[in-house]
Structure 1
Amino acid sequence: MTLLDKDGVRLTVDGAVATVTLDNPAKRNAQSPGMWRALAEAGRVLPGAVRVVVLRGEGASFSAGLDRRMFEPEGIEGETSFVELAHRTDQELDAYIAGAQEAFTWWRRSDLISVAAVQGHAIGAGFQLALACDLRVCAEDVQFAMRETSLGLVPDLAGTHPLVALVGYARALEICATGRFVHAEEAERAGLANLVVPAGELDAAVADLAAALLAAPRDAVIETKALLAGAGSRTYEQQRAAEREAQARRLRELAGLGE
């Protein structure tokens, strides 16, 4: 069932699995404000029964980053160019960037697990979109790169936090400051990729992972995700307490004593 198909984004749902497809392969799924709005909308219209969301890109590349027309004075028709944005007030700029970030923030919701299927180029905004997901399955031809600094900008689409969490501060700084490519072998070794497979096996590998993620009861997965997501901000003792509280809820639920 197709729930959304606009601005290079298509959302389909099959039972507990939703698939969000970047569908502008002629431009290597370059991202525009319209695409960001559509991605944010996909998160809002997602049915409550969905447990796993797969994010993929049509064609040879996952996403080659920003549509370069945004850097031109005339920009994209109907959209505000970066040149125009530079003349806005601090409050207006903040609101614009916050709106763009909405396309990147819902993927880690506690009630679902998101999986990015990444092939070819995942550059800049494309890299950050892959980082927005909980998990990443990558084809052997994947090429990650954070090119914002080479354009005089910074990564501002919510990608810096997960990047540091995955690879550590020093490697994240080096990746961002140099803008170099990170290929499949390094991505898997550094923790950017949960799994690397031949390009022809990417869809099958993601389908197998989605099936495995659906095998456990939903509430147990939600509680476990919350425990792991919050572990970095808790002390050891606080994490122990959080585990006890979560397990008490699960035991009562299994015994039919839940609220």
Structure 2
Amino acid sequence: MASLDPVLDKDGVRLTVDDTIATVTLTNPAKRNVQSPALWRALAEAGRVLPGSVRVVVLRAEGKSFSAGLDRQMLTPEGIEGEPTFADLARGGDKELDASIAGFQEAFSWLRRNDLVSVAAVQGHAIGAGFQLALACDLRVVADDAQFAMRETSLGLVPDLTGTHPLVSAVGYARALEICVTGRFVLAEEAVTMGLANLAVPREQLDDTVRDLTSALLAAPRDAVVETKALLRGAQQRTYEEQRAAERAAQARRLRDLAGIGD
């Protein structure tokens, strides 16, 4: 990736912007890019400060692993200094607990915005929260050493960082249930076969492959991409007739825009 002055660089997250392309990099390779509330706040901030010129977001990580998931210190009684422990969160009222989890989810949800196409470049381990961060992106390109696993259920928890919806959408209910409940590893080749990843390449080709994909994504006019993404994302929630109507409305907007005719 190009060397650019960071727009944001804090708590294991660096954001750089090159005109229409933003790169979000996880920058704690010594700890395999484990995740914490501080990292989630930084990721959410990256989404908030993203310039309006950006069309494609590339999410990548330094080191051998994309992200090994939660910082295991969060699971200890003492937790992470300066952060509430899991026990502290559990003792809060329903509204407070819901708000805390919703705040964590903001780190992931902005990557699905209709005005952006997000691409995760995944190498090595993507476990738990790391798996869900990759799932937060629209597209996933994986190195041949990629290993996905959803370990929350084996810890007595559930995947709650926005990962369940895209996982079921990608692989179906039965496969998603099996992956989550068993906590098994899904390797690169299987990830592509089941639709979890778009493409698998040798590790040394990962950055170049993502760069080529990014260029292809930018070739189409922005407004057409935004409309197309909105149509596809909403398709499963609409009936056939509702989707036909949504297509007509979107195409009418595109035709009028191309003809220079306002609403």
Could you tell me which of 61, 71, 75 is aligned with 2:75? 71
Q: Which runs of 5+ in 2 are unaligned?
A: none
TM-score, length of structure 2 as denominator length:
0.97
Could you tell me which of 213, 229, 241 is aligned with 1:209? 213
Tell me the secondary structure at the aligned position of residue 24 of structure 2.
Answer: strand
* C-alpha deviation, 1:93, in angstroms: 1.2
Alpha-carbon RMSD: 0.8
Residue in 1 that maps onto 2:123: 119
Residue in 1 that maps onto 2:97: 93
Alpha-carbon distance in structure 1 between the residues aligned to 2:241 and 2:87: 50
Alpha-carbon distance in structure 2 between the residues aligned to 1:72 and 1:236: 49
Matched letter for residue 207 of structure 1: R
Alpha-carbon distance in structure 2 between the residues aligned to 1:90 and 1:225: 34
| Residue 165 of structure 2 is aligned to residue 161 of structure 1 | yes
Residue in 2 that maps onto 1:49: 53
Residue in 1 that maps onto 2:189: 185
Matches within 5 A, 1:136-155: 136-155=140-159
* C-alpha deviation, 1:219, in angstroms: 0.4
* C-alpha deviation, 1:258, in angstroms: 3.0
Matched letter for residue 25 of structure 1: P
Contact 1:72 1:83 in 2 (8 A): no
Deviation track 1:117-175 (CA, whole Å, cap 9, x = no partner) reads 00000000000000000000000000000000111111011100110011000000000
Matched letter for residue 63 of structure 1: S
**How many residues matched?**
259
Matches within 5 A, 1:216-235: 216-235=220-239
Q: Which runs of 5+ in 1 are unaligned?
A: none
Deviation track 1:186-228 (CA, whole Å, cap 9, x = no partner) reads 1000101001100000000000000000001000111111110
| Residue 11 of structure 2 is aligned to residue 4 of structure 1 | no
Deviation track 1:32-54 (CA, whole Å, cap 9, x = no partner) reads 00000000000000000000000
Matches within 5 A, 1:124-139: 124-139=128-143
TM-score, length of structure 1 as denominator length:
0.98
Contact 1:18 1:53 in 2 (8 A): yes
* C-alpha deviation, 1:242, in angstroms: 1.0
